[in-house]
Structure formats: structure tokens, C-alpha cells
Amino acid sequence: MPRSLAMRLLLAAMGALYLTGALVCTVVLWVWPWSSQDFAQQSMASHFELIEDNLQFDAQGRLLALAPSHKLDTMYDALSKDVAYQVLDAQGQELFASPPGPALAALRTQPAPTTAAGDSPRRSTISASGIVMYLLEQSMRTPDGSRYAIRLVRSDRMESLLREYDSESFLTTLLVAIGLAQVVFVAVVIGTVRRLVSPLRKASAIAASIGPRNLRARLQPEGLPSELQPLIAAFNHALERLEKGYSVQQEFLAAAAHELKTPLALFRAELEVGSENRLQLLKDVDLMARQVHQLLHLAEVSESRNYHFETQDIARVAFEVHDFMNRHARRHNVALDLRTPETPVWLQLDRGAVFVLIRNLVENAIEHAHPASTVTVELTSTGLEVRNLGPAVTDEEKARLYTRFWRGNSRMAAGTGGAGLGLSICREIALTHEWTLSLVDRPGWHGAVFAVEWKS
């Protein structure tokens, strides 16, 4: 099977045409009168009707004459050896006849018809001078009630000649017609396919020219078949997502460079002046290491291929985070309270990624909590909540919670040393798991409540 769509359509159309031609030929060959006798009977029946139609009657319905017929006169005069006809009255007397000849002489030797008017035509075979001849005769009535008969005779050699000539002529004409039809059909199909694939070639050229520098280019669906327009629309949507992702990546690289540039500049200045503040230098190094570590985390969780999903009890992950973050909570004089249901909460998840998600939320809650307060982690069958008692999140801050490298302006947050990537990492992990991460407005609660929800 060729890969070209045009060739596939052409072969399919040609196959359909050949199949149709074969069926037509089969039907024609099946109904074609191949035997001389069948051919003679069909031909003689048409002549019989022609003679009957040319008979003329007077006002009283008496038979008067046989009207001249160019076809009858020419054929029966030229072929008097092989064809002849008679019109007889009720007594068997000849009223009208074809021009004299051997065929008419043989016909006159036959007895008068004995069939009654209205009976079916009688067919028989006679022999004259060694030539087989086919006879057709039928009795009928005139409008005045008188009986008359029409008789036709044709030789076997005449029928064989006509059959061979007509068959060859017909079959030749049929084959030529089929051949011409195929040529025209192929030309039409090729023209149609070319018109069909022309917009596709243009769309392919536009798609081939799309690169990082012109991601705003889009394929145009005009002129394309309606069946292909959803594909073009889906491709354009994919380009939009790609453009957005590329733009976010460029912004991310610029922000990362800016975030690392400031501590590096400070570190260089401290070294140049020969500062003896070893603790400050170590703090700057730790800050840069933390930023690099979170950058690596963000890059890792942003790629879905880095996830390994298994059916896990998320409560066990929450206990691991609780044990891991307890010491950090004590350093900030904050209590950490974990509440889990009695039955396991089985989910399809990446254990490492979910550990980072819960840890970041808990760490963020601890660092923004009032001293001597409690950070609560509550797990249910439909979601997870992390609550703290601390400064409220303003409307301006809500709009930028998940912006990379953004840190809150509160006085308590200023000294945390965070890189501003924790919530961005949490959101990427939640999106990959098809969960929702949100800041919940809870009336009467003085602090922040972050909720992760999933389908139970």
C-alpha cells in the first residue's frame, strides 16, 4: 500500500471503477443472446411488431394494405435469400409478402397457420436447400373480427453472421467505452486529488517553517476538507501551548539568572573586601544552593516522564513528611499536628513527588506561622489541608502565589530565605496528578489554608 494519500485515493477509485466495469460486462454477457436461435427469436420478434404496426385497415376494420417501410423494403429485398415474410387471410391466401426469393419460396411451401387468434406465437425450424431457417408465425384478428396471420422466416447463416457482427461490434464498443471512461475517471480523480492536497502542501510548508523564533505562526484551515479542519485546529492549539510553554521557559531562565546574579555579586564583593564574616558567606552559599536545588526540583516535576505512578497510601507519605519536618517546626517554635483517617487512602501517585508537595506546603506554613502556634495537616479521603495561624494573605499576594521567584512582602516572610519556587513546584506536582491546589478562604480563620483535592 503506497504511503501517498493521493495514490491511495487513486488506487481505490480505480479499483472501484474496474469492479464496476467487470460487473457490467458480466451482466451484459449473461443477458446477451449468444446462440443463433435466441438471437433470431429476438430479432424476428422486433420485425414482427414492425410489420404489424404497418398494417392498414379501412373504416369497417377490414385489412387494406401494408404501408411501405424503408427498413422492411430494403432489408427483405437485399436479403431475399435469407429473410422473408407473409401476411395471410383466414383461408391461408397470401395478402402481402416480401420481394420474391428463395426464402419466400421456402415460406410458401409451409402449410397455413392453424393457431387461433390470440394464441402465443409459434416457433419452428424448417430446411430449404440444406439451409436451416427459423419460422415465426401468429394468428390475429382485424378490428372487424376477421382472422389473419403473419409469418416470418430467417436463415441460420443470416443469424450467425448478424450475431457475430453485432457481438464483435457491441463488445468492441463496450470495451472502448470502458477504456475512455477509465481515462476520464483517472484524469478527474488526479485533478481532484491535486486540488485536495494543494492546501495540505501549503499547510505542510508553513508547519515546516515554524521554529523557536516564529512560534506565533498558525496553519490556516481555509480551503481544506472539513474532515481535516479538526486536525489543523488541534495542531494550532498545540502550537499555542508550545508557544506559551516556551515563553514561560524564557521568563523562567531570565528570572533564574536574575535571582542567582544578586547573591553571586554579594559573595564576590565580600571576597574582594576580604570580609571576615564567615557566617554571612556561608549563609549566602546556602541561599544559592537552596535556589539551585529548587530549580532542579522545578525542572524535574515539570516533566511528566519523570513520574513513576503506583498505588500508594498517601497517609504513609504524610507521616514521613511529619517526621521529617518536626525538627524544622521546633526550630521555629511551632507545633506540627497531623490528622489522618482510620482507613488507608489509596491513590495513584508518585511517592517522591507527593512527598515534596506535602513538605513544601508544610514548610511554607511553618515559616509563616506565629511563634508558639500549631500547623495542622489534615488528610481525608478526598483531599489534604495544611493550615497555620499567621499573617493573612492579601488579595494582591493571592494573584501572585504561584509566580516563580516571587516572595511575599510580609515582615515574617522577609527573613525566611526562600527562593520563591515552593508553591510553583507544588502546583506542577498537583497538575501532573490531576489534582487541584488552591488557597481556601475560610471565614474566621486567621492564617492561610492550602487545600489539595482529588477524586475519591
Q: Classify residue 92 as left (phi > 0), alpha (psi -120 to 50) or beta.
A: left
How confident is the model at residue 1, as a pLDDT?
Answer: 52
> Is 167 part of a structural domain of the chain?
yes
> Are 279 and 311 in a shared domain?
no
pLDDT at 169: 64
Last residue of a domain, one of 209, 237, 264: 209
Does 283 share its domain with 312?
A: no
Q: Are residues 40 and 129 in the same domain?
A: yes
DSSP H helices in 60-155: 70-78, 102-108
Together in a domain, 82 and 184: yes
Sign of CA dihedral 368, 422, 402, 314: negative
Which among 179, 209, 239 is the end of a domain? 209
Q: How far apart are CA 318 and CA 341, in angstroms?
A: 12
**264 and 159 share one domain:** no
Domain finish residue from 254, 275, 301:
301
Which grid coordinates are listed for 356? 515534596
Question: Is-contact 86 150, C-beta < 8 A?
Answer: yes
| 314 and 296 co-located in one domain | no
Say whether both 134 and 188 belong to one domain. Answer: yes
On whether both 180 and 317 belong to a single domain, the answer is no
**Helical packing angle, 229-272 and 278-301, nearest 10°:** 170
Question: Is 224 within the bounds of a domain?
Answer: no
The tens-digit pLDDT sequence of the chain (456 residues) is: 555 666 666 677 777 777 777 777 777 666 555 455 565 667 788 888 888 889 998 888 888 888 888 878 888 888 888 889 999 988 888 999 999 988 898 889 888 877 666 677 888 888 877 788 888 888 888 888 888 899 998 887 766 665 665 566 666 776 787 777 777 777 777 777 777 777 777 778 877 777 777 777 777 777 777 777 788 888 888 888 887 777 767 666 666 665 566 667 766 776 666 666 667 667 667 666 766 666 666 666 667 778 889 999 999 999 999 999 999 999 999 999 999 999 999 999 999 889 989 999 999 999 889 999 999 999 999 999 999 998 888 878 887 787 766 766 553 444 555 567 788 889 989 998 999 999 998 887 888 999 999 986
* Among the listed residues 66, 96, 99, the one whose alpha carbon sits nearest the alpha carbon of residue 84: 99
The answer to whether position 190 is within a domain reads yes
Compute the C-alpha angle 423/427/432, nearest 5°: 150
Q: How far apart, in whole angstroms, are the C-alpha atoms of residue 151 and residue 104? A: 10
Query: Terminal CA-to-CA distance of the chain, rounded, Å?
Result: 48
pLDDT reported for residue 411: 38
Residue 134 DSSP SS3: strand
C-alpha cell, 42: 429476438
Query: Which pairs from 297-301 meet CB under 8 Å and 24+ separation?
Result: 297/356, 297/421, 297/425, 298/404, 298/421, 298/424, 298/425, 298/428, 301/353, 301/356, 301/425, 301/428, 301/429, 301/432
Same domain, 195 and 243: no
d(CA 147, CA 396): 115
Same domain, 63 and 9: yes
Residues 311 and 296 in one domain: no
Alpha-carbon distance of 112 to 455, in angstroms, equals 101
Instruction: Examine the domain organization and report whether 233 and 106 are in the same domain.
Output: no
pLDDT at residue 263 in the model:
66
Tell whether 220 is covered by a domain.
Answer: no
pTM equals 0.48
Q: Find the domain containing 356 and state its range.
A: 307-453
Asked whether residue 205 is domain-assigned, the answer is: yes
Number of folded domains that form the chain: 3
DSSP annotation of 94: E
Q: Phi, psi (5° rounding) for residue 9?
A: -65, -40
Predicted pLDDT of residue 90: 85
Residue 243 CB burial class (10 angstroms; 0-12, 13-18, ≥19): middle
